Amino acid sequence: MAVSRPTPAHLSATPADRPVYVIGAGPGGLAAAYALRARGIRAVVLEKADEVGASWRRHYDRLHLHTTRRLSALPGLAMPRRFGRWVSRDNVVRYLEKYTEHHELEIVTGVEVFRVERSADGQGWLLHASGGRELTGSAVVVATGFNHTPRVPEWPGRDSYTGELVHASEYRNPAPYAGRDVLVVGVGNTGAEIAVDLVEGGASRVRLSVRTAPHIVRRSTAGWAAQYTGVLVRHLPVPVVDRLAKPMAKLSVPDLSAHGLPRPGTGLYSRVNEGSIPVQDVGLIDAVRKGTVEVVAAVEGFEDGKVVLADGTRIEPDAVIAATGYARALENLVGHLDVLDARGKPVVHGARTPDNAPGLYFTGYANPISGMLRELAIDAVKIAKVIARDGGRQVTRLPA
């Protein structure tokens, strides 16, 4: 793996000597680094972990991409055919390692960036990093990831709850839960898949706490991947996609209302724009119909060692797994630059740069219906093109 030596604690550079710094060595950061390198621009990736793809290494064992192998590859290197159509977590990690080596990317591991601000001369960006490092770059690509910091709601009584409560980021496989009563909170793709995994792994009882019923789609129908449809409708008006999706859902997904999962009242694409991606079925539909996964009301809090549900029910599972999402956690890094919206999401992404922060780019902070890895790959090329065009003499060019 091409990993550079640690950067000196203080780096002073003239504008012409400044690389583009990429924060995060996940798929978005690696793709951006390659796209910049392909245009002859020096890109240095800063990664706080010891290896690339750190967040992928922490995902649960059974995870496979819900997007196809062909539409999940990063620019400049296809995923091997032997990985199959739905690539496993371990093979995603192998691919990211190979990608780094194949493109000879310049990665500095073990360096965490805490704050990004304008350089003193106004011609670039100053990064404050671990070890007292101060790094000056011509531009910055922030790619710390959509799933950055596990988020558990501040449920009443949570802090005094003595039962087992873990975030889904700590879940690896069902072995520790065999023969136990488990409550999974949250019915996104992670919660749905963990619930099915628990059933197949021998949990004695699995309940799935749902606040808002999700849209559920088949991952593939007669060989046609749901992602293909997502790509086709990506830029259509939201109301049009909502109308198209409704009859398709009725044809492909059974009505689960009797089991606690009614069809959503809000359109599929409207929900996507609100941040809720459809659940791709990998066994949830059958498990709910068979009753092996029981749908229960939303969690309202904890009281006297029990979980209190929105319908007033109190239950006492052996373990609670909170599949309640992640925070982007960008506030400390760039919040002072007025580049985040009220939800902490970058106001622009991809090749666009904030009007008040030219040269600062964000990639990987949306979860598009067409597939995150596909969009990361597209954004990387666009970002590199803009930096090459607008960076002028400020960027460091690689030797020919």
Q: What per-residue confidence (pLDDT) applies to 146? A: 81
Q: What's the pLDDT score for residue 148?
A: 81
Nearest to 228 by CA among 364, 76, 371: 371
Residue 2, pLDDT score: 45
The residue type at 65: L
Task: Choose the weakest-confidence range: 67-81, 138-152, 174-188.
Answer: 138-152
> So what's the pLDDT on residue 199?
98
* pLDDT tens digits along 90-104: 999 999 999 999 999
Taken in order of first residue, the domains within the chain and their CATH numbers are 15-148+328-394 (3.50.50.60), 151-322 (3.50.50.60)
Q: Which residues contact 379 (CB under 8 A, 6 or more apart)?
A: 28, 31, 32, 349, 350, 351, 363, 364
pLDDT number for residue 275: 81
Hey, how many other C-beta atoms are within 10 angstroms of the C-beta on 336? 12
Q: What is the mean pLDDT of the chain?
A: 92
pLDDT the model gives residue 394: 59
Crossing angle of helices 89-102 and 27-38, rounded to 10°: 20
Query: With 90 as the cut, is the pLDDT of residue 41 above it?
Result: yes
Binning pLDDT at 50, 70 and 90, where does residue 11 land? very low
More confident site: 274 or 346: 346
* Residue reference for tokens 């997904």: 253
Q: Are 213 and 296 in contact (CB under 8 A)?
A: no
- pLDDT band with cut points at 50, 70 and 90 for residue 17: confident
| pLDDT (mean) for 262-289 | 93
Mean pLDDT score, 315-324 = 98
What's the pLDDT at 40?
A: 95
- The pLDDT value recorded for residue 193 is 97
Gap between the Cα atoms of 359 and 334, Å rounded: 13
Proportion of the chain above pLDDT 90, given as a percent: 86
Q: pLDDT at position 395, please?
A: 60
Phi-psi region of 43 (alpha: psi -120 to 50; beta: other; left: phi over 0): beta
Q: What is the arithmetic mean of pLDDT over 372-397?
A: 85
Helix, strand, coil percent content, the chain, rounded in steps of 5: 30, 25, 45
Mean pLDDT of 109-125: 95
Q: What's the confidence (pLDDT) of residue 9?
A: 36
Mean pLDDT for 115-124 is 94
Residue 274 is predicted with a pLDDT of 84
Give the per-residue SS3 of 100-135.
HHHCCCEEEECCCEEEEEECCCCCCEEEEEHHHEEE
Query: What's the predicted TM-score (pTM) here?
Result: 0.91
Residues 6+ apart with CB under 8 A from 180: 203, 204, 205, 318, 319
The mean-pLDDT minimum among 71-75, 146-150, 177-181 falls in: 146-150
> Which stretch of DSSP H or E encloses residue 314?
strand 314-315
Query: What is the per-residue pLDDT across 223-254, written as a single tens digit (0 to 9) for each?
Result: 999 999 999 998 999 999 999 999 989 999 99
Residue 57 has pLDDT above 60, yes or no: yes
Percent residues over pLDDT 70 in the chain:
94
pLDDT at 119 over 60: yes
What is the predicted pLDDT for the residue at 399? Answer: 62
pLDDT at 14: 40
User: Which pLDDT belongs to residue 241?
Assistant: 95
The CA distance from 297 to 310, in Å, is 6
* pLDDT per position as a tens digit, 158-170: 999 999 999 999 9
